[in-house]
Amino acid sequence: MWLELDQFLHYLKNERLYSDYTLEAYRNDLAQFIEFAERKNNDQTVEPEEVKTLLIRTFLGHLLKLGLQKRSITRKLSAIKSFFKYLFRNELIQVNPATIVSGPRLDRRLPVVLSMEQARQVMTLPPDDSFEGLRDRAILELLYGSGLRLGELLALTLEKVDFASELIRVMGKRQKERLLPLGTYARRALETYLTARESEIGRPKANSVVFVNSRGEALYPLAVQKMAKAYMQELSEQRGLSPHVLRHSFATHLLDNGADLFAVKELLGHESLSTTQIYTHVSMERLKDVYRQAHPRAGNVKKNEGEGNPEE
Protein backbone atom coordinates (compact mmCIF):
# COMPACT_ATOMS: atom_id res chain seq x y z
CA MET A 1 0.00 0.00 0.00
CA TRP A 2 1.28 3.48 -0.81
CA LEU A 3 2.84 5.46 2.01
CA GLU A 4 1.33 8.56 0.42
CA LEU A 5 -2.13 7.17 1.11
CA ASP A 6 -1.54 7.26 4.86
CA GLN A 7 -0.25 10.82 4.55
CA PHE A 8 -3.35 11.81 2.59
CA LEU A 9 -5.73 10.25 5.14
CA HIS A 10 -3.85 11.98 7.95
CA TYR A 11 -4.35 15.29 6.12
CA LEU A 12 -8.08 14.65 5.68
CA LYS A 13 -8.50 13.78 9.34
CA ASN A 14 -6.43 16.53 10.95
CA GLU A 15 -6.74 19.43 8.53
CA ARG A 16 -10.03 18.82 6.72
CA LEU A 17 -11.64 17.29 9.83
CA TYR A 18 -13.30 14.45 7.94
CA SER A 19 -15.28 11.93 9.94
CA ASP A 20 -14.04 8.40 10.58
CA TYR A 21 -16.80 7.09 8.31
CA THR A 22 -15.64 9.30 5.41
CA LEU A 23 -12.00 8.42 5.99
CA GLU A 24 -12.81 4.72 5.82
CA ALA A 25 -14.68 5.25 2.55
CA TYR A 26 -11.68 7.08 1.07
CA ARG A 27 -9.32 4.36 2.25
CA ASN A 28 -11.42 1.57 0.73
CA ASP A 29 -11.96 3.35 -2.59
CA LEU A 30 -8.29 4.18 -3.03
CA ALA A 31 -7.16 0.72 -1.91
CA GLN A 32 -9.41 -0.77 -4.59
CA PHE A 33 -7.82 1.46 -7.23
CA ILE A 34 -4.30 0.59 -6.08
CA GLU A 35 -5.10 -3.13 -6.19
CA PHE A 36 -6.48 -2.74 -9.73
CA ALA A 37 -3.39 -0.80 -10.85
CA GLU A 38 -1.07 -3.50 -9.53
CA ARG A 39 -3.05 -6.27 -11.22
CA LYS A 40 -2.70 -4.40 -14.48
CA ASN A 41 1.05 -4.24 -13.85
CA ASN A 42 1.40 -8.03 -13.49
CA ASP A 43 0.97 -7.83 -9.72
CA GLN A 44 3.96 -5.52 -9.44
CA THR A 45 3.97 -2.37 -7.32
CA VAL A 46 2.88 0.81 -9.08
CA GLU A 47 4.08 4.08 -7.63
CA PRO A 48 1.80 7.16 -7.70
CA GLU A 49 3.98 8.97 -10.24
CA GLU A 50 3.58 6.00 -12.59
CA VAL A 51 -0.20 6.28 -12.75
CA LYS A 52 -1.46 7.60 -16.10
CA THR A 53 -4.82 9.05 -17.09
CA LEU A 54 -5.59 5.95 -19.19
CA LEU A 55 -5.22 3.71 -16.13
CA ILE A 56 -7.80 5.74 -14.19
CA ARG A 57 -10.21 5.62 -17.12
CA THR A 58 -9.65 1.88 -17.48
CA PHE A 59 -10.48 1.48 -13.79
CA LEU A 60 -13.77 3.35 -14.23
CA GLY A 61 -14.64 1.15 -17.22
CA HIS A 62 -13.86 -1.91 -15.12
CA LEU A 63 -16.28 -0.72 -12.43
CA LEU A 64 -19.01 -0.17 -15.02
CA LYS A 65 -18.53 -3.72 -16.32
CA LEU A 66 -18.87 -5.00 -12.77
CA GLY A 67 -22.32 -3.37 -12.69
CA LEU A 68 -21.49 -0.77 -10.07
CA GLN A 69 -23.97 2.09 -9.82
CA LYS A 70 -22.94 5.36 -11.41
CA ARG A 71 -23.06 7.21 -8.10
CA SER A 72 -20.66 4.72 -6.53
CA ILE A 73 -18.28 5.08 -9.45
CA THR A 74 -18.47 8.87 -9.19
CA ARG A 75 -17.65 8.65 -5.48
CA LYS A 76 -14.58 6.50 -6.17
CA LEU A 77 -13.41 8.89 -8.87
CA SER A 78 -13.83 11.77 -6.44
CA ALA A 79 -11.53 9.99 -3.98
CA ILE A 80 -8.94 9.41 -6.71
CA LYS A 81 -9.12 13.04 -7.84
CA SER A 82 -8.74 14.33 -4.29
CA PHE A 83 -5.77 12.04 -3.67
CA PHE A 84 -3.82 13.02 -6.77
CA LYS A 85 -4.67 16.68 -6.26
CA TYR A 86 -3.13 16.40 -2.80
CA LEU A 87 -0.01 14.71 -4.20
CA PHE A 88 0.39 17.36 -6.90
CA ARG A 89 -0.05 20.29 -4.51
CA ASN A 90 2.56 18.82 -2.19
CA GLU A 91 4.94 18.21 -5.12
CA LEU A 92 4.92 14.45 -4.60
CA ILE A 93 4.10 13.97 -8.28
CA GLN A 94 4.97 16.13 -11.30
CA VAL A 95 1.74 15.64 -13.25
CA ASN A 96 -1.82 15.10 -11.98
CA PRO A 97 -3.23 12.22 -14.08
CA ALA A 98 -6.78 12.64 -12.76
CA THR A 99 -7.36 16.26 -13.76
CA ILE A 100 -9.10 15.61 -17.08
CA VAL A 101 -10.90 12.40 -16.10
CA SER A 102 -14.68 12.74 -15.91
CA GLY A 103 -17.12 10.27 -14.41
CA PRO A 104 -20.33 8.80 -15.82
CA ARG A 105 -23.21 11.19 -16.35
CA LEU A 106 -25.61 10.92 -13.44
CA ASP A 107 -29.36 10.93 -13.77
CA ARG A 108 -30.86 13.56 -11.50
CA ARG A 109 -32.59 11.84 -8.62
CA LEU A 110 -34.90 13.84 -6.43
CA PRO A 111 -34.82 13.07 -2.70
CA VAL A 112 -37.48 10.77 -1.30
CA VAL A 113 -39.88 12.75 0.90
CA LEU A 114 -43.01 12.04 2.88
CA SER A 115 -46.14 14.10 2.50
CA MET A 116 -46.93 16.39 5.41
CA GLU A 117 -49.76 14.07 6.43
CA GLN A 118 -47.48 11.02 6.31
CA ALA A 119 -44.89 12.86 8.40
CA ARG A 120 -47.57 13.75 10.94
CA GLN A 121 -48.82 10.17 11.11
CA VAL A 122 -45.40 8.51 11.39
CA MET A 123 -44.76 10.45 14.61
CA THR A 124 -47.76 8.77 16.23
CA LEU A 125 -46.77 5.20 15.38
CA PRO A 126 -44.26 4.41 18.16
CA PRO A 127 -46.12 3.23 21.29
CA ASP A 128 -46.32 5.74 24.11
CA ASP A 129 -46.36 3.18 26.92
CA SER A 130 -42.78 1.89 26.79
CA PHE A 131 -39.26 3.28 27.11
CA GLU A 132 -38.34 2.20 23.57
CA GLY A 133 -41.53 3.62 22.07
CA LEU A 134 -41.09 7.01 23.73
CA ARG A 135 -37.44 7.07 22.66
CA ASP A 136 -38.31 6.22 19.06
CA ARG A 137 -40.99 8.90 18.97
CA ALA A 138 -38.49 11.49 20.22
CA ILE A 139 -35.97 10.36 17.58
CA LEU A 140 -38.50 10.71 14.77
CA GLU A 141 -39.67 14.09 16.03
CA LEU A 142 -36.10 15.42 16.14
CA LEU A 143 -35.13 14.08 12.73
CA TYR A 144 -38.18 15.67 11.14
CA GLY A 145 -38.62 18.69 13.40
CA SER A 146 -35.01 19.89 13.33
CA GLY A 147 -33.64 18.27 10.18
CA LEU A 148 -30.74 16.48 11.85
CA ARG A 149 -28.48 14.03 10.09
CA LEU A 150 -28.43 10.60 11.72
CA GLY A 151 -24.85 11.06 12.89
CA GLU A 152 -25.71 14.42 14.45
CA LEU A 153 -28.66 12.90 16.27
CA LEU A 154 -26.67 10.00 17.70
CA ALA A 155 -23.83 12.31 18.82
CA LEU A 156 -26.20 14.78 20.52
CA THR A 157 -25.50 15.10 24.25
CA LEU A 158 -27.81 16.34 26.98
CA GLU A 159 -25.75 19.46 27.61
CA LYS A 160 -26.39 20.54 24.01
CA VAL A 161 -30.17 20.66 24.52
CA ASP A 162 -31.61 23.96 25.83
CA PHE A 163 -35.25 23.39 26.67
CA ALA A 164 -35.73 26.95 27.95
CA SER A 165 -34.63 28.51 24.66
CA GLU A 166 -35.96 25.60 22.59
CA LEU A 167 -32.63 25.23 20.81
CA ILE A 168 -30.18 22.39 20.27
CA ARG A 169 -26.53 22.68 19.37
CA VAL A 170 -25.30 20.02 16.95
CA MET A 171 -21.90 19.17 15.54
CA GLY A 172 -22.16 18.84 11.78
CA LYS A 173 -19.76 17.83 9.04
CA ARG A 174 -16.16 18.99 9.36
CA GLN A 175 -16.79 19.70 13.04
CA LYS A 176 -18.97 22.74 12.30
CA GLU A 177 -21.43 23.52 15.05
CA ARG A 178 -24.86 25.04 14.41
CA LEU A 179 -27.94 25.95 16.41
CA LEU A 180 -31.25 24.38 15.48
CA PRO A 181 -34.78 25.09 16.71
CA LEU A 182 -36.41 22.55 18.99
CA GLY A 183 -40.05 22.61 17.95
CA THR A 184 -42.93 22.21 20.38
CA TYR A 185 -43.70 18.61 19.41
CA ALA A 186 -40.04 17.58 19.46
CA ARG A 187 -39.51 19.27 22.84
CA ARG A 188 -42.50 17.50 24.39
CA ALA A 189 -41.45 14.13 22.95
CA LEU A 190 -37.89 14.63 24.15
CA GLU A 191 -38.93 15.65 27.66
CA THR A 192 -41.27 12.67 27.94
CA TYR A 193 -38.53 10.29 26.74
CA LEU A 194 -35.93 11.70 29.14
CA THR A 195 -38.34 11.25 32.05
CA ALA A 196 -38.84 7.62 31.02
CA ARG A 197 -35.09 7.21 30.57
CA GLU A 198 -34.40 8.42 34.11
CA SER A 199 -36.96 5.96 35.47
CA GLU A 200 -35.51 3.13 33.37
CA ILE A 201 -31.76 3.55 33.88
CA GLY A 202 -31.24 6.42 36.35
CA ARG A 203 -30.22 10.06 36.10
CA PRO A 204 -27.73 10.59 33.25
CA LYS A 205 -24.65 12.80 33.24
CA ALA A 206 -24.75 16.08 31.34
CA ASN A 207 -22.25 14.83 28.76
CA SER A 208 -24.19 11.61 28.14
CA VAL A 209 -25.58 11.05 24.67
CA VAL A 210 -29.30 11.67 24.52
CA PHE A 211 -30.44 8.46 22.86
CA VAL A 212 -29.55 5.13 24.44
CA ASN A 213 -30.90 1.61 24.76
CA SER A 214 -32.42 0.17 27.93
CA ARG A 215 -28.90 -0.61 29.23
CA GLY A 216 -27.78 3.00 28.86
CA GLU A 217 -25.59 2.27 25.84
CA ALA A 218 -25.41 4.59 22.83
CA LEU A 219 -27.50 3.48 19.87
CA TYR A 220 -25.93 2.09 16.70
CA PRO A 221 -26.86 3.82 13.41
CA LEU A 222 -28.21 0.56 11.96
CA ALA A 223 -30.71 0.20 14.80
CA VAL A 224 -32.14 3.67 14.14
CA GLN A 225 -32.17 3.08 10.38
CA LYS A 226 -34.21 -0.11 10.80
CA MET A 227 -36.59 1.53 13.26
CA ALA A 228 -37.29 4.58 11.10
CA LYS A 229 -37.69 2.50 7.95
CA ALA A 230 -40.13 0.12 9.63
CA TYR A 231 -42.41 2.93 10.75
CA MET A 232 -42.30 4.77 7.42
CA GLN A 233 -43.07 1.58 5.51
CA GLU A 234 -46.42 1.45 7.32
CA LEU A 235 -47.39 4.66 5.53
CA SER A 236 -45.40 4.76 2.30
CA GLU A 237 -44.52 2.29 -0.44
CA GLN A 238 -41.62 4.41 -1.70
CA ARG A 239 -38.19 2.88 -2.00
CA GLY A 240 -35.17 4.26 -0.21
CA LEU A 241 -36.89 4.96 3.10
CA SER A 242 -34.36 5.86 5.78
CA PRO A 243 -33.87 8.40 8.59
CA HIS A 244 -32.54 10.82 5.96
CA VAL A 245 -36.01 10.89 4.36
CA LEU A 246 -37.19 12.79 7.43
CA ARG A 247 -34.42 15.36 6.89
CA HIS A 248 -35.45 15.64 3.22
CA SER A 249 -39.07 16.07 4.32
CA PHE A 250 -38.05 18.74 6.85
CA ALA A 251 -36.42 20.85 4.12
CA THR A 252 -39.11 20.27 1.50
CA HIS A 253 -41.99 21.11 3.82
CA LEU A 254 -40.26 24.30 4.93
CA LEU A 255 -39.96 25.42 1.31
CA ASP A 256 -43.52 24.30 0.56
CA ASN A 257 -44.68 26.68 3.26
CA GLY A 258 -42.68 29.67 2.09
CA ALA A 259 -39.38 29.40 3.97
CA ASP A 260 -36.40 31.28 2.55
CA LEU A 261 -33.93 29.06 0.69
CA PHE A 262 -30.93 30.63 2.45
CA ALA A 263 -32.52 29.97 5.84
CA VAL A 264 -33.10 26.31 4.93
CA LYS A 265 -29.46 26.08 3.81
CA GLU A 266 -28.30 27.25 7.24
CA LEU A 267 -30.67 24.92 9.08
CA LEU A 268 -29.39 21.94 7.07
CA GLY A 269 -25.75 22.91 7.53
CA HIS A 270 -25.03 22.88 3.80
CA GLU A 271 -21.84 24.56 2.61
CA SER A 272 -23.23 25.32 -0.85
CA LEU A 273 -26.59 26.75 -1.80
CA SER A 274 -26.65 24.48 -4.85
CA THR A 275 -26.94 21.48 -2.50
CA THR A 276 -30.04 22.98 -0.91
CA GLN A 277 -31.61 23.91 -4.25
CA ILE A 278 -32.48 20.28 -4.98
CA TYR A 279 -35.39 20.74 -2.58
CA THR A 280 -36.84 23.50 -4.75
CA HIS A 281 -37.06 20.89 -7.53
CA VAL A 282 -38.90 18.56 -5.15
CA SER A 283 -41.36 21.30 -4.25
CA MET A 284 -41.93 22.11 -7.92
CA GLU A 285 -42.56 18.46 -8.78
CA ARG A 286 -45.10 18.26 -5.97
CA LEU A 287 -46.85 21.39 -7.27
CA LYS A 288 -46.95 19.86 -10.74
CA ASP A 289 -48.57 16.72 -9.35
CA VAL A 290 -51.22 18.76 -7.57
CA TYR A 291 -51.88 20.70 -10.78
CA ARG A 292 -52.16 17.56 -12.92
CA GLN A 293 -54.60 15.96 -10.51
CA ALA A 294 -56.74 19.00 -9.78
CA HIS A 295 -56.87 21.31 -12.78
CA PRO A 296 -59.46 20.54 -15.50
CA ARG A 297 -57.10 21.73 -18.25
CA ALA A 298 -54.04 19.83 -17.04
CA GLY A 299 -54.37 17.03 -19.57
CA ASN A 300 -56.91 14.70 -17.97
CA VAL A 301 -58.70 14.33 -21.30
CA LYS A 302 -60.78 11.28 -20.35
CA LYS A 303 -62.19 13.07 -17.36
CA ASN A 304 -63.52 15.89 -19.51
CA GLU A 305 -64.60 13.91 -22.57
CA GLY A 306 -68.25 14.48 -23.46
CA GLU A 307 -68.61 17.43 -21.11
CA GLY A 308 -69.44 19.92 -23.83
CA ASN A 309 -67.59 22.72 -25.60
CA PRO A 310 -64.48 23.67 -23.67
CA GLU A 311 -65.08 27.29 -24.61
CA GLU A 312 -68.47 27.38 -22.92
Amino acid at residue number 20: D
Which one-letter DSSP state was computed for residue 209?
Answer: B
Q: How many CB atoms sit inside 10 A of residue 57's CB?
A: 16
Active site residue 173: yes
Which position among 75, 188, 270, 286 bears the catalytic label? 270
CA-based torsion, 196, 201, 205, 207: positive or negative:
negative
Name the DSSP letter for residue 15. Answer: T
Query: Which stretches of the chain are assigned E, i.e. beta strand?
Result: 161-162, 167-171, 177-181
Q: Is 247 in the active site? A: yes
- Residues with Cβ within 8 Å of 105's Cβ and at least 6 positions away in sequence, in order, are 70
Which entry of 160, 197, 247, 248 is annotated as an active-site residue?
247
CB 156, CB 168: distance < 8 Å:
yes
Q: How many alpha carbons lie under 13 Å from residue 241 in its C-beta half-sphere?
A: 19
Tell me which of 173, 178, 188, 229 is the catalytic residue: 173
Q: In the 8-state DSSP scheme, what is residue 124? A: T
Respond yes or no: is residue 270 known to be catalytic.
Answer: yes
User: Per the residue annotation, which of 27, 169, 244, 286 is the catalytic one?
Assistant: 244
Single-letter code of the amino acid located at 284: M
Catalytic residue among 149, 178, 188, 286: 149
Residue 197: active-site member: no
13 is annotated as an active-site residue: no
Bridge partners, 209 (sequence order): 157
> 200, 152, 203: which is closest to 178 by C-alpha?
152
DSSP string for residues in 71-118: HHHHHHHHHHHHHHHHHHHTTS-SS-TTTT---PPPPP-PPP---HHH
Active site residues: 149, 173, 244, 247, 270, 279
